[in-house]
Structure 1
Amino acid sequence: MSTSLRALVVGGTNGIGYAMACRIATDHTSSTVIISGRNKPDKIPHPNIEFLAVDASSMRQIKQYTGKIKTSLGDQKLDFLIMTQGIFTMAGRTETAEGIDNKMALHYYGKQLLIRELLPVLQDDARVIIVLDGKNGAPTKLEWKDLDLKRTYSLTSAAYHCISMKDAIIQFYAAQQQQSGNSKRHFVHAFPGVVASNIMAGLPWYLRGPAQVLMKMAAVSTDTCAEYLLTGTSEVTQTAEKDGRFWSNVDQKGRGVPDKVIWTDEQLKSVSDHTWGVIDSALKCTA
Protein backbone atom coordinates (compact mmCIF):
# COMPACT_ATOMS: atom_id res chain seq x y z
CA MET A 1 0.00 0.00 0.00
CA SER A 2 1.10 3.55 -0.68
CA THR A 3 1.42 6.19 2.03
CA SER A 4 -1.45 8.10 0.39
CA LEU A 5 -4.30 5.86 1.46
CA ARG A 6 -8.03 6.02 0.86
CA ALA A 7 -10.13 4.51 3.61
CA LEU A 8 -13.86 4.21 4.14
CA VAL A 9 -15.04 3.59 7.72
CA VAL A 10 -18.75 2.82 8.08
CA GLY A 11 -19.68 3.22 11.72
CA GLY A 12 -16.83 5.71 11.85
CA THR A 13 -18.71 8.55 13.52
CA ASN A 14 -18.09 7.30 17.07
CA GLY A 15 -16.55 4.54 19.16
CA ILE A 16 -14.10 2.07 17.66
CA GLY A 17 -14.74 3.13 14.07
CA TYR A 18 -14.05 6.78 14.86
CA ALA A 19 -10.82 5.83 16.63
CA MET A 20 -9.71 3.65 13.69
CA ALA A 21 -10.46 6.46 11.23
CA CYS A 22 -8.49 8.96 13.34
CA ARG A 23 -5.57 6.53 13.64
CA ILE A 24 -5.36 6.13 9.85
CA ALA A 25 -5.72 9.89 9.31
CA THR A 26 -2.92 10.58 11.81
CA ASP A 27 -0.52 7.89 10.57
CA HIS A 28 -1.06 8.77 6.92
CA THR A 29 -1.43 12.55 6.72
CA SER A 30 -1.81 12.50 2.93
CA SER A 31 -4.62 9.96 3.16
CA THR A 32 -8.33 10.52 2.57
CA VAL A 33 -10.60 8.97 5.18
CA ILE A 34 -14.37 8.93 4.74
CA ILE A 35 -16.40 8.26 7.87
CA SER A 36 -20.06 7.34 7.68
CA GLY A 37 -23.02 6.92 9.99
CA ARG A 38 -26.42 8.44 10.58
CA ASN A 39 -25.13 11.69 12.10
CA LYS A 40 -22.04 13.80 11.59
CA PRO A 41 -19.85 13.85 14.71
CA ASP A 42 -19.53 17.10 16.62
CA LYS A 43 -15.78 17.10 16.10
CA ILE A 44 -13.72 16.01 13.11
CA PRO A 45 -10.14 16.53 14.33
CA HIS A 46 -8.25 15.87 11.10
CA PRO A 47 -8.48 17.84 7.84
CA ASN A 48 -8.17 14.63 5.79
CA ILE A 49 -11.38 13.13 7.26
CA GLU A 50 -14.64 13.61 5.38
CA PHE A 51 -18.21 12.71 6.40
CA LEU A 52 -20.90 11.05 4.29
CA ALA A 53 -24.20 10.08 5.88
CA VAL A 54 -25.76 6.61 5.63
CA ASP A 55 -28.37 4.59 7.50
CA ALA A 56 -26.50 1.29 7.53
CA SER A 57 -29.61 -0.68 8.55
CA SER A 58 -31.32 0.04 5.20
CA MET A 59 -30.25 -2.00 2.19
CA ARG A 60 -31.76 0.54 -0.21
CA GLN A 61 -29.92 3.42 1.46
CA ILE A 62 -26.67 1.44 1.35
CA LYS A 63 -27.17 0.82 -2.36
CA GLN A 64 -27.63 4.57 -2.97
CA TYR A 65 -24.71 5.39 -0.69
CA THR A 66 -22.28 3.03 -2.43
CA GLY A 67 -23.29 4.58 -5.74
CA LYS A 68 -22.24 7.99 -4.37
CA ILE A 69 -18.95 6.55 -3.11
CA LYS A 70 -18.12 5.01 -6.48
CA THR A 71 -18.96 8.23 -8.31
CA SER A 72 -16.89 10.36 -5.92
CA LEU A 73 -13.86 8.08 -6.24
CA GLY A 74 -13.73 8.32 -10.01
CA ASP A 75 -10.60 6.44 -11.11
CA GLN A 76 -9.32 6.15 -7.53
CA LYS A 77 -9.75 3.09 -5.33
CA LEU A 78 -10.05 2.26 -1.64
CA ASP A 79 -7.19 0.75 0.36
CA PHE A 80 -9.35 0.09 3.44
CA LEU A 81 -13.00 -0.78 3.86
CA ILE A 82 -13.71 -0.88 7.61
CA MET A 83 -17.15 -1.64 9.06
CA THR A 84 -17.86 -1.24 12.77
CA GLN A 85 -21.54 -0.29 12.74
CA GLY A 86 -23.72 -1.99 15.33
CA ILE A 87 -26.19 -1.62 18.15
CA PHE A 88 -26.37 -2.96 21.69
CA THR A 89 -30.01 -3.64 22.51
CA MET A 90 -32.07 -6.00 24.66
CA ALA A 91 -35.10 -5.70 22.35
CA GLY A 92 -36.42 -8.80 20.60
CA ARG A 93 -36.77 -9.16 16.86
CA THR A 94 -37.51 -5.69 15.48
CA GLU A 95 -37.94 -5.63 11.74
CA THR A 96 -36.94 -2.78 9.47
CA ALA A 97 -39.27 -1.62 6.70
CA GLU A 98 -37.40 -4.08 4.48
CA GLY A 99 -38.29 -7.08 6.65
CA ILE A 100 -34.89 -7.67 8.26
CA ASP A 101 -34.27 -7.66 11.99
CA ASN A 102 -32.66 -4.29 12.78
CA LYS A 103 -29.79 -5.81 14.77
CA MET A 104 -28.97 -8.32 12.03
CA ALA A 105 -29.30 -5.65 9.32
CA LEU A 106 -26.63 -3.55 11.05
CA HIS A 107 -24.35 -6.34 12.22
CA TYR A 108 -24.45 -8.60 9.18
CA TYR A 109 -26.54 -8.00 6.07
CA GLY A 110 -25.67 -4.33 5.54
CA LYS A 111 -21.97 -5.08 5.82
CA GLN A 112 -22.20 -7.74 3.14
CA LEU A 113 -24.00 -5.40 0.75
CA LEU A 114 -21.29 -2.79 1.33
CA ILE A 115 -18.60 -5.32 0.42
CA ARG A 116 -20.46 -6.61 -2.64
CA GLU A 117 -21.10 -3.12 -4.02
CA LEU A 118 -17.63 -1.76 -3.29
CA LEU A 119 -15.51 -4.71 -4.47
CA PRO A 120 -15.02 -3.05 -7.89
CA VAL A 121 -13.45 0.03 -6.25
CA LEU A 122 -11.13 -1.79 -3.85
CA GLN A 123 -7.42 -1.89 -4.54
CA ASP A 124 -6.09 -5.32 -5.45
CA ASP A 125 -4.29 -5.43 -2.07
CA ALA A 126 -7.06 -3.74 -0.05
CA ARG A 127 -7.92 -4.69 3.52
CA VAL A 128 -11.58 -5.33 4.38
CA ILE A 129 -12.04 -5.27 8.17
CA ILE A 130 -15.34 -6.25 9.78
CA VAL A 131 -15.48 -5.62 13.53
CA LEU A 132 -17.79 -7.81 15.61
CA ASP A 133 -16.47 -11.08 17.03
CA GLY A 134 -13.83 -12.99 15.13
CA LYS A 135 -13.34 -15.48 17.97
CA ASN A 136 -16.59 -17.27 18.72
CA GLY A 137 -18.30 -18.09 15.43
CA ALA A 138 -18.73 -21.65 14.09
CA PRO A 139 -21.01 -23.59 11.71
CA THR A 140 -22.48 -25.47 14.67
CA LYS A 141 -23.91 -22.23 16.07
CA LEU A 142 -26.23 -21.67 13.11
CA GLU A 143 -29.88 -22.62 12.83
CA TRP A 144 -29.39 -23.77 9.25
CA LYS A 145 -33.10 -24.00 8.41
CA ASP A 146 -33.78 -20.49 9.74
CA LEU A 147 -30.70 -18.39 8.98
CA ASP A 148 -32.55 -15.06 9.18
CA LEU A 149 -34.23 -16.21 12.43
CA LYS A 150 -37.78 -15.33 11.44
CA ARG A 151 -39.04 -18.33 13.43
CA THR A 152 -36.44 -18.98 16.13
CA TYR A 153 -35.16 -15.52 17.08
CA SER A 154 -33.45 -14.79 20.39
CA LEU A 155 -30.75 -12.29 21.31
CA THR A 156 -28.24 -15.11 21.68
CA SER A 157 -29.10 -16.73 18.37
CA ALA A 158 -29.03 -13.37 16.58
CA ALA A 159 -25.55 -12.70 17.95
CA TYR A 160 -24.24 -16.13 16.99
CA HIS A 161 -25.76 -15.94 13.51
CA CYS A 162 -24.20 -12.55 12.77
CA ILE A 163 -20.84 -13.69 14.14
CA SER A 164 -20.81 -17.09 12.46
CA MET A 165 -22.12 -16.04 9.06
CA LYS A 166 -19.46 -13.33 9.06
CA ASP A 167 -16.80 -16.01 9.57
CA ALA A 168 -18.25 -17.86 6.60
CA ILE A 169 -18.49 -14.84 4.33
CA ILE A 170 -14.84 -13.78 4.71
CA GLN A 171 -13.84 -17.29 3.67
CA PHE A 172 -16.35 -17.10 0.80
CA TYR A 173 -14.84 -13.87 -0.53
CA ALA A 174 -11.31 -15.21 -0.21
CA ALA A 175 -12.27 -18.39 -2.09
CA GLN A 176 -13.97 -16.40 -4.86
CA GLN A 177 -10.89 -14.25 -5.19
CA GLN A 178 -8.55 -17.23 -5.44
CA GLN A 179 -10.69 -18.73 -8.21
CA SER A 180 -10.49 -15.52 -10.24
CA GLY A 181 -6.79 -14.99 -9.42
CA ASN A 182 -7.06 -11.26 -10.02
CA SER A 183 -6.31 -9.74 -6.63
CA LYS A 184 -4.91 -10.25 -3.13
CA ARG A 185 -7.46 -8.44 -1.00
CA HIS A 186 -7.58 -9.66 2.58
CA PHE A 187 -10.83 -10.13 4.50
CA VAL A 188 -10.64 -9.83 8.28
CA HIS A 189 -13.19 -10.50 11.01
CA ALA A 190 -12.00 -8.77 14.19
CA PHE A 191 -12.97 -9.12 17.84
CA PRO A 192 -12.57 -5.81 19.74
CA GLY A 193 -13.05 -7.19 23.27
CA VAL A 194 -14.45 -4.94 25.98
CA VAL A 195 -14.06 -1.33 24.89
CA ALA A 196 -14.92 1.88 26.74
CA SER A 197 -17.35 3.31 24.21
CA ASN A 198 -20.93 4.58 24.31
CA ILE A 199 -22.46 1.40 22.91
CA MET A 200 -23.88 0.49 26.35
CA ALA A 201 -26.24 3.46 26.10
CA GLY A 202 -28.75 1.10 24.51
CA LEU A 203 -29.05 -0.98 27.68
CA PRO A 204 -32.02 -0.66 30.06
CA TRP A 205 -31.27 1.80 32.86
CA TYR A 206 -30.95 -0.93 35.49
CA LEU A 207 -28.11 -2.60 33.56
CA ARG A 208 -26.10 0.53 32.85
CA GLY A 209 -24.55 0.68 36.34
CA PRO A 210 -23.15 -2.89 36.26
CA ALA A 211 -22.00 -2.29 32.67
CA GLN A 212 -20.11 0.83 33.73
CA VAL A 213 -18.38 -1.13 36.51
CA LEU A 214 -17.34 -3.76 33.97
CA MET A 215 -16.04 -1.05 31.70
CA LYS A 216 -13.85 0.42 34.43
CA MET A 217 -12.48 -3.00 35.36
CA ALA A 218 -11.87 -4.59 31.98
CA ALA A 219 -12.29 -2.13 29.12
CA VAL A 220 -9.58 -0.63 26.96
CA SER A 221 -9.97 2.77 25.34
CA THR A 222 -11.22 3.09 21.78
CA ASP A 223 -7.79 4.43 20.79
CA THR A 224 -6.03 1.38 22.24
CA CYS A 225 -8.51 -0.93 20.52
CA ALA A 226 -7.96 0.83 17.20
CA GLU A 227 -4.19 0.46 17.57
CA TYR A 228 -4.48 -3.26 18.35
CA LEU A 229 -6.82 -3.98 15.45
CA LEU A 230 -5.02 -1.95 12.79
CA THR A 231 -1.50 -3.03 13.78
CA GLY A 232 -2.64 -6.61 14.30
CA THR A 233 -4.40 -6.73 10.95
CA SER A 234 -1.24 -5.60 9.19
CA GLU A 235 0.87 -8.27 10.90
CA VAL A 236 -1.63 -11.12 10.73
CA THR A 237 -2.49 -10.61 7.06
CA GLN A 238 1.17 -10.57 6.04
CA THR A 239 1.73 -13.89 7.80
CA ALA A 240 -1.42 -15.46 6.34
CA GLU A 241 -0.64 -14.34 2.81
CA LYS A 242 2.73 -16.08 2.92
CA ASP A 243 0.69 -19.27 3.31
CA GLY A 244 -1.65 -18.30 0.48
CA ARG A 245 -4.59 -17.46 2.76
CA PHE A 246 -6.52 -14.23 2.29
CA TRP A 247 -8.91 -14.32 5.24
CA SER A 248 -8.09 -13.92 8.92
CA ASN A 249 -9.75 -13.74 12.31
CA VAL A 250 -8.18 -11.31 14.77
CA ASP A 251 -8.62 -11.12 18.54
CA GLN A 252 -8.78 -8.12 20.89
CA LYS A 253 -4.99 -7.77 21.00
CA GLY A 254 -4.64 -7.92 17.23
CA ARG A 255 -3.42 -11.52 17.26
CA GLY A 256 -4.57 -14.17 14.83
CA VAL A 257 -7.26 -16.45 16.28
CA PRO A 258 -5.91 -20.02 16.15
CA ASP A 259 -7.77 -23.12 14.97
CA LYS A 260 -10.63 -21.36 13.22
CA VAL A 261 -12.94 -23.78 11.43
CA ILE A 262 -12.53 -23.91 7.66
CA TRP A 263 -16.09 -23.99 6.32
CA THR A 264 -17.01 -26.50 3.61
CA ASP A 265 -17.92 -25.39 0.09
CA GLU A 266 -21.51 -26.48 0.75
CA GLN A 267 -21.70 -24.39 3.94
CA LEU A 268 -20.22 -21.35 2.21
CA LYS A 269 -22.74 -21.68 -0.64
CA SER A 270 -25.65 -21.98 1.80
CA VAL A 271 -24.61 -18.86 3.71
CA SER A 272 -23.85 -16.80 0.59
CA ASP A 273 -27.05 -17.84 -1.22
CA HIS A 274 -29.08 -16.98 1.87
CA THR A 275 -27.30 -13.65 2.32
CA TRP A 276 -27.85 -12.42 -1.24
CA GLY A 277 -31.43 -13.71 -1.19
CA VAL A 278 -32.28 -11.62 1.87
CA ILE A 279 -30.43 -8.54 0.60
CA ASP A 280 -31.86 -8.65 -2.92
CA SER A 281 -35.36 -9.17 -1.54
CA ALA A 282 -34.90 -6.10 0.67
CA LEU A 283 -33.68 -4.03 -2.28
CA LYS A 284 -36.91 -4.85 -4.13
CA CYS A 285 -39.06 -3.95 -1.12
CA THR A 286 -41.41 -1.01 -1.71
CA ALA A 287 -42.76 -0.66 1.84
Structure 2
Amino acid sequence: MSSIRAVVVGGTSGIGYAMACRVAASSPPSSTILISGRTKPAALPHANMEFRALDATSMRAIKHYTDTIKSASPKLDLLIMTQGIMTTAGRTETPEGIDAKMALHYYGKQLLVRELLPLLCPSARVIIVYDGWLGSPTKLVWDDLDLKTHFSLAKAADHCTSMTDGMVQYWATAGQSEGERERRRHFVHAYPGGVNSNLLREIVPTYLQAAVKTVGKVVLTSPETCAERLLSGAELCADEGEKEERAWSNIDNKGRLLKNKAVWSDEQIRKVTSHTWGLIDAALALEE
Protein backbone atom coordinates (compact mmCIF):
# COMPACT_ATOMS: atom_id res chain seq x y z
CA MET A 1 0.00 0.00 0.00
CA SER A 2 1.38 3.40 -0.97
CA SER A 3 1.48 6.28 1.48
CA ILE A 4 -1.27 8.88 1.45
CA ARG A 5 -1.71 12.45 2.58
CA ALA A 6 -4.98 13.41 4.23
CA VAL A 7 -6.31 16.60 5.82
CA VAL A 8 -9.07 16.36 8.44
CA VAL A 9 -10.48 19.71 9.55
CA GLY A 10 -12.56 19.34 12.68
CA GLY A 11 -10.37 16.33 13.41
CA THR A 12 -9.54 17.17 17.00
CA SER A 13 -12.60 15.55 18.62
CA GLY A 14 -15.77 13.58 17.94
CA ILE A 15 -16.48 12.24 14.46
CA GLY A 16 -13.55 14.03 12.84
CA TYR A 17 -11.05 12.65 15.33
CA ALA A 18 -12.47 9.15 14.92
CA MET A 19 -12.26 9.42 11.13
CA ALA A 20 -8.69 10.71 11.31
CA CYS A 21 -7.65 7.87 13.62
CA ARG A 22 -9.26 5.28 11.37
CA VAL A 23 -7.53 6.65 8.28
CA ALA A 24 -4.20 6.81 10.12
CA ALA A 25 -4.51 3.25 11.43
CA SER A 26 -5.20 1.87 7.94
CA SER A 27 -2.43 3.86 6.21
CA PRO A 28 1.32 3.15 5.99
CA PRO A 29 3.59 4.81 8.57
CA SER A 30 5.00 7.01 5.79
CA SER A 31 1.59 8.64 5.34
CA THR A 32 0.63 12.02 6.79
CA ILE A 33 -2.77 12.52 8.40
CA LEU A 34 -3.01 16.22 9.29
CA ILE A 35 -5.74 17.03 11.78
CA SER A 36 -6.79 20.58 12.49
CA GLY A 37 -9.03 22.51 14.83
CA ARG A 38 -8.83 25.02 17.63
CA THR A 39 -7.29 22.77 20.28
CA LYS A 40 -4.79 19.94 20.02
CA PRO A 41 -6.28 16.62 21.15
CA ALA A 42 -4.89 14.95 24.24
CA ALA A 43 -3.47 12.10 22.16
CA LEU A 44 -2.29 11.45 18.63
CA PRO A 45 -2.35 7.64 18.78
CA HIS A 46 -0.60 7.00 15.46
CA ALA A 47 2.86 8.15 14.44
CA ASN A 48 1.60 9.32 11.04
CA MET A 49 -0.76 11.89 12.61
CA GLU A 50 0.09 15.57 12.90
CA PHE A 51 -1.77 18.53 14.38
CA ARG A 52 -2.02 22.09 13.12
CA ALA A 53 -4.20 24.70 14.80
CA LEU A 54 -6.94 26.39 12.77
CA ASP A 55 -9.79 28.77 13.53
CA ALA A 56 -12.17 27.45 10.88
CA THR A 57 -14.61 30.35 11.31
CA SER A 58 -12.07 32.77 9.78
CA MET A 59 -11.70 32.91 6.02
CA ARG A 60 -8.33 34.63 6.33
CA ALA A 61 -7.08 32.00 8.77
CA ILE A 62 -8.19 29.27 6.38
CA LYS A 63 -6.41 30.96 3.47
CA HIS A 64 -3.18 31.17 5.48
CA TYR A 65 -3.60 27.53 6.49
CA THR A 66 -4.12 26.30 2.92
CA ASP A 67 -1.25 28.43 1.61
CA THR A 68 1.04 26.72 4.11
CA ILE A 69 -0.16 23.27 3.06
CA LYS A 70 0.25 24.08 -0.63
CA SER A 71 3.81 25.25 -0.08
CA ALA A 72 4.79 21.97 1.57
CA SER A 73 2.75 19.25 -0.13
CA PRO A 74 2.67 18.01 -3.72
CA LYS A 75 -0.54 16.02 -3.34
CA LEU A 76 -3.63 15.34 -1.28
CA ASP A 77 -5.54 12.06 -1.39
CA LEU A 78 -8.27 12.75 1.13
CA LEU A 79 -9.95 15.88 2.48
CA ILE A 80 -12.44 15.46 5.33
CA MET A 81 -14.31 18.36 6.92
CA THR A 82 -16.39 17.77 10.05
CA GLN A 83 -16.11 21.12 11.83
CA GLY A 84 -19.30 22.19 13.53
CA ILE A 85 -20.90 23.66 16.61
CA MET A 86 -24.20 23.23 18.41
CA THR A 87 -25.45 26.46 19.92
CA THR A 88 -28.69 28.27 20.64
CA ALA A 89 -27.17 31.71 20.02
CA GLY A 90 -28.69 33.90 17.35
CA ARG A 91 -26.78 35.44 14.48
CA THR A 92 -23.25 36.07 15.77
CA GLU A 93 -21.00 37.71 13.21
CA THR A 94 -17.28 37.14 12.96
CA PRO A 95 -14.99 40.14 12.33
CA GLU A 96 -15.40 39.27 8.64
CA GLY A 97 -19.16 39.88 8.80
CA ILE A 98 -20.24 36.23 8.48
CA ASP A 99 -22.39 34.42 11.01
CA ALA A 100 -19.96 32.21 12.94
CA LYS A 101 -22.11 29.10 12.60
CA MET A 102 -22.49 29.51 8.85
CA ALA A 103 -18.79 30.31 8.50
CA LEU A 104 -17.94 27.06 10.28
CA HIS A 105 -20.59 24.83 8.74
CA TYR A 106 -20.54 26.09 5.16
CA TYR A 107 -18.35 28.96 3.92
CA GLY A 108 -15.08 27.77 5.43
CA LYS A 109 -15.54 24.27 4.04
CA GLN A 110 -16.02 25.60 0.52
CA LEU A 111 -12.92 27.77 0.82
CA LEU A 112 -10.92 24.76 1.95
CA VAL A 113 -12.02 22.82 -1.13
CA ARG A 114 -11.29 25.71 -3.47
CA GLU A 115 -7.82 26.36 -2.12
CA LEU A 116 -6.75 22.72 -1.80
CA LEU A 117 -8.22 21.68 -5.15
CA PRO A 118 -4.86 22.00 -6.99
CA LEU A 119 -3.40 19.38 -4.63
CA LEU A 120 -6.16 16.82 -5.03
CA CYS A 121 -5.07 13.66 -6.77
CA PRO A 122 -7.18 12.46 -9.71
CA SER A 123 -8.71 9.80 -7.44
CA ALA A 124 -9.04 11.97 -4.32
CA ARG A 125 -12.04 11.81 -2.01
CA VAL A 126 -13.60 14.89 -0.42
CA ILE A 127 -16.03 14.22 2.44
CA ILE A 128 -18.12 16.96 4.06
CA VAL A 129 -19.86 15.75 7.21
CA TYR A 130 -22.91 17.88 7.93
CA ASP A 131 -26.38 16.86 6.73
CA GLY A 132 -26.51 15.10 3.39
CA TRP A 133 -30.13 14.14 3.98
CA LEU A 134 -32.41 17.16 4.44
CA GLY A 135 -31.07 19.79 2.04
CA SER A 136 -33.07 21.09 -0.91
CA PRO A 137 -32.91 24.17 -3.15
CA THR A 138 -36.54 24.84 -2.21
CA LYS A 139 -35.43 25.67 1.36
CA LEU A 140 -33.29 28.65 0.35
CA VAL A 141 -34.12 32.34 0.66
CA TRP A 142 -32.54 33.10 -2.69
CA ASP A 143 -32.23 36.87 -2.24
CA ASP A 144 -30.64 36.52 1.23
CA LEU A 145 -28.41 33.46 1.09
CA ASP A 146 -26.20 34.54 4.01
CA LEU A 147 -29.35 35.37 6.03
CA LYS A 148 -28.50 38.95 6.91
CA THR A 149 -32.20 39.73 7.31
CA HIS A 150 -33.94 36.34 7.51
CA PHE A 151 -31.77 34.66 10.13
CA SER A 152 -32.99 31.93 12.45
CA LEU A 153 -31.24 28.83 13.72
CA ALA A 154 -33.50 26.60 11.64
CA LYS A 155 -33.02 28.69 8.52
CA ALA A 156 -29.24 28.78 9.01
CA ALA A 157 -29.23 24.98 9.19
CA ASP A 158 -31.39 24.81 6.05
CA HIS A 159 -29.06 27.13 4.15
CA CYS A 160 -25.82 25.42 5.18
CA THR A 161 -27.26 21.99 4.44
CA SER A 162 -28.82 22.94 1.12
CA MET A 163 -25.97 25.05 -0.22
CA THR A 164 -23.56 22.23 0.64
CA ASP A 165 -25.68 19.94 -1.53
CA GLY A 166 -25.41 22.37 -4.42
CA MET A 167 -21.68 22.83 -4.01
CA VAL A 168 -21.01 19.09 -3.87
CA GLN A 169 -22.71 18.82 -7.25
CA TYR A 170 -20.73 21.83 -8.50
CA TRP A 171 -17.41 20.30 -7.41
CA ALA A 172 -18.33 17.01 -9.07
CA THR A 173 -17.87 18.80 -12.39
CA ALA A 174 -15.58 21.74 -11.65
CA GLY A 175 -13.33 19.76 -9.32
CA GLN A 176 -12.16 17.13 -11.76
CA SER A 177 -8.55 16.93 -12.87
CA GLU A 178 -7.66 17.21 -16.54
CA GLY A 179 -6.76 14.35 -18.87
CA GLU A 180 -7.20 10.61 -18.68
CA ARG A 181 -7.83 9.08 -15.27
CA GLU A 182 -8.64 5.65 -13.92
CA ARG A 183 -10.71 6.99 -11.02
CA ARG A 184 -12.40 10.34 -10.70
CA ARG A 185 -12.36 12.58 -7.69
CA HIS A 186 -15.52 12.04 -5.70
CA PHE A 187 -17.31 14.57 -3.51
CA VAL A 188 -19.51 13.38 -0.65
CA HIS A 189 -21.99 15.14 1.62
CA ALA A 190 -22.54 12.85 4.62
CA TYR A 191 -25.29 12.75 7.23
CA PRO A 192 -23.84 11.40 10.52
CA GLY A 193 -27.10 10.96 12.43
CA GLY A 194 -27.12 11.01 16.22
CA VAL A 195 -23.54 10.63 17.49
CA ASN A 196 -22.39 10.56 21.10
CA SER A 197 -19.88 13.40 20.77
CA ASN A 198 -19.02 16.54 22.71
CA LEU A 199 -21.14 18.72 20.41
CA LEU A 200 -24.39 17.71 22.08
CA ARG A 201 -23.02 18.41 25.53
CA GLU A 202 -22.13 21.97 24.50
CA ILE A 203 -25.80 22.97 24.69
CA VAL A 204 -26.74 20.90 27.75
CA PRO A 205 -26.60 22.45 31.25
CA THR A 206 -23.71 21.23 33.39
CA TYR A 207 -25.98 19.49 35.87
CA LEU A 208 -27.45 17.33 33.09
CA GLN A 209 -24.24 16.39 31.29
CA ALA A 210 -23.58 13.21 33.27
CA ALA A 211 -27.07 11.95 32.43
CA VAL A 212 -26.70 12.93 28.78
CA LYS A 213 -23.38 11.08 28.59
CA THR A 214 -24.91 7.94 30.08
CA VAL A 215 -28.02 8.01 27.88
CA GLY A 216 -25.94 8.88 24.85
CA LYS A 217 -23.96 5.66 25.13
CA VAL A 218 -27.21 3.72 24.81
CA VAL A 219 -29.20 5.60 22.16
CA LEU A 220 -26.51 7.32 20.08
CA THR A 221 -23.86 5.97 17.74
CA SER A 222 -20.25 6.12 18.90
CA PRO A 223 -17.89 8.37 16.91
CA GLU A 224 -15.83 5.31 15.99
CA THR A 225 -18.82 3.46 14.52
CA CYS A 226 -19.94 6.58 12.69
CA ALA A 227 -16.45 7.06 11.26
CA GLU A 228 -16.32 3.48 10.00
CA ARG A 229 -19.72 3.76 8.33
CA LEU A 230 -19.09 7.10 6.67
CA LEU A 231 -15.61 6.24 5.38
CA SER A 232 -16.67 2.85 4.06
CA GLY A 233 -19.86 4.27 2.58
CA ALA A 234 -18.06 7.14 0.88
CA GLU A 235 -15.62 4.75 -0.80
CA LEU A 236 -18.38 2.37 -1.87
CA CYS A 237 -20.43 5.22 -3.32
CA ALA A 238 -17.36 6.54 -5.11
CA ASP A 239 -16.79 3.13 -6.69
CA GLU A 240 -20.44 2.90 -7.73
CA GLY A 241 -20.29 6.44 -9.00
CA GLU A 242 -17.50 5.48 -11.37
CA LYS A 243 -19.81 3.00 -13.06
CA GLU A 244 -22.62 5.55 -13.27
CA GLU A 245 -20.38 8.49 -14.27
CA ARG A 246 -21.46 10.30 -11.11
CA ALA A 247 -18.81 12.14 -9.09
CA TRP A 248 -20.95 13.17 -6.12
CA SER A 249 -22.92 11.33 -3.46
CA ASN A 250 -25.12 12.15 -0.50
CA ILE A 251 -24.95 9.39 2.10
CA ASP A 252 -26.91 8.58 5.25
CA ASN A 253 -25.67 7.66 8.71
CA LYS A 254 -25.10 4.05 7.65
CA GLY A 255 -23.00 5.13 4.68
CA ARG A 256 -25.74 4.31 2.18
CA LEU A 257 -26.39 6.39 -0.93
CA LEU A 258 -29.41 8.70 -0.64
CA LYS A 259 -30.89 8.04 -4.05
CA ASN A 260 -33.65 10.65 -4.15
CA LYS A 261 -31.55 13.80 -3.79
CA ALA A 262 -32.55 16.60 -6.15
CA VAL A 263 -30.18 17.36 -9.01
CA TRP A 264 -29.61 21.10 -8.98
CA SER A 265 -30.06 23.15 -12.13
CA ASP A 266 -27.14 25.02 -13.66
CA GLU A 267 -28.80 28.31 -12.70
CA GLN A 268 -29.26 27.27 -9.07
CA ILE A 269 -25.62 26.22 -8.83
CA ARG A 270 -24.51 29.45 -10.52
CA LYS A 271 -26.42 31.55 -7.97
CA VAL A 272 -24.98 29.66 -5.00
CA THR A 273 -21.40 29.67 -6.29
CA SER A 274 -21.58 33.37 -7.18
CA HIS A 275 -22.86 34.21 -3.71
CA THR A 276 -20.35 31.93 -1.96
CA TRP A 277 -17.24 33.25 -3.71
CA GLY A 278 -18.45 36.84 -3.47
CA LEU A 279 -18.87 36.62 0.31
CA ILE A 280 -15.63 34.69 0.86
CA ASP A 281 -13.52 36.92 -1.36
CA ALA A 282 -14.90 40.04 0.33
CA ALA A 283 -13.84 38.57 3.68
CA LEU A 284 -10.37 37.77 2.34
CA ALA A 285 -9.99 41.32 1.05
CA LEU A 286 -10.52 42.89 4.47
CA GLU A 287 -7.48 44.47 6.07
CA GLU A 288 -5.94 42.61 9.01
The 1:100–1:28 alpha-carbon spacing in structure 2 relative to 1, beyond 3 Å, is same
Correspondences of 1:1-287 after superposition (within 5 Å): 3-30=2-29, 31-73=31-73, 76-177=74-175, 184-205=184-205, 208=208, 212=213, 215-286=216-287
Count of matched residue pairs: 284
The 1:207–1:77 alpha-carbon spacing in structure 2 relative to 1, beyond 3 Å, is farther
Inter-partner Cα distance in structure 2 for 1:86 and 1:25: 22
> Any unmatched runs of 5+ in structure 2?
none
Inter-partner Cα distance in structure 1 for 2:212 and 2:165: 27
Deviates more, 1:2-11 or 1:150-159: 2-11
Inter-partner Cα distance in structure 1 for 2:236 and 2:127: 14
Query: Hey, which bits of structure 1, 4+ residues long, moved more than 6 A?
Result: none
TM-score (norm 2): 0.94
> Any unmatched runs of 5+ in structure 1?
none
Inter-partner Cα distance in structure 1 for 2:230 and 2:208: 26
The 1:118–1:177 alpha-carbon spacing in structure 2 relative to 1, beyond 3 Å, is closer
Letter matched to residue 72 of structure 1: A
Inter-partner Cα distance in structure 2 for 1:143 and 1:95: 19
| Residue deviations 1:97-154 (CA, integer Å, cap 9, x gap) | 0000000000000000000000001101100000000011000111111100000000
| Residue deviations 1:152-199 (CA, integer Å, cap 9, x gap) | 000000001000000000101112246966762111000111111101
Inter-partner Cα distance in structure 2 for 1:277 and 1:167: 18
Over the aligned positions, Cα root-mean-square deviation in angstroms equals 1.8
The answer to whether the Cα contact below 8 Å between 1:125 and 1:185 also exists between their aligned partners in 2 is yes
The answer to whether the Cα contact below 8 Å between 1:124 and 1:182 also exists between their aligned partners in 2 is no
| Residue deviations 1:63-109 (CA, integer Å, cap 9, x gap) | 00001111121xx3010000000100000000000000000000000
TM-score (norm 1): 0.94
SS of match in other structure, 1:51: strand
The 1:256–1:206 alpha-carbon spacing in structure 2 relative to 1, beyond 3 Å, is same
Inter-partner Cα distance in structure 1 for 2:146 and 2:180: 32
Deviation, 1:202, is 2.2
The answer to whether the Cα contact below 8 Å between 1:92 and 1:155 also exists between their aligned partners in 2 is yes
SS of match in other structure, 2:91: coil
Deviates more, 1:37-46 or 1:87-96: 37-46
Inter-partner Cα distance in structure 2 for 1:250 and 1:35: 23
Inter-partner Cα distance in structure 2 for 1:208 and 1:90: 17
Deviates more, 1:127-136 or 1:176-185: 176-185
Letter matched to residue 194 of structure 2: V
SS of match in other structure, 1:52: strand
Letter matched to residue 224 of structure 1: T
Deviation, 1:215, is 2.3
Inter-partner Cα distance in structure 2 for 1:47 and 1:148: 41
Deviates more, 1:267-276 or 1:23-32: 23-32
Inter-partner Cα distance in structure 1 for 2:208 and 2:152: 21
| Residue deviations 1:232-278 (CA, integer Å, cap 9, x gap) | 11111110121101000011001001111000000000000000011
The answer to whether the Cα contact below 8 Å between 2:176 and 2:185 also exists between their aligned partners in 1 is no
Letter matched to residue 254 of structure 1: G
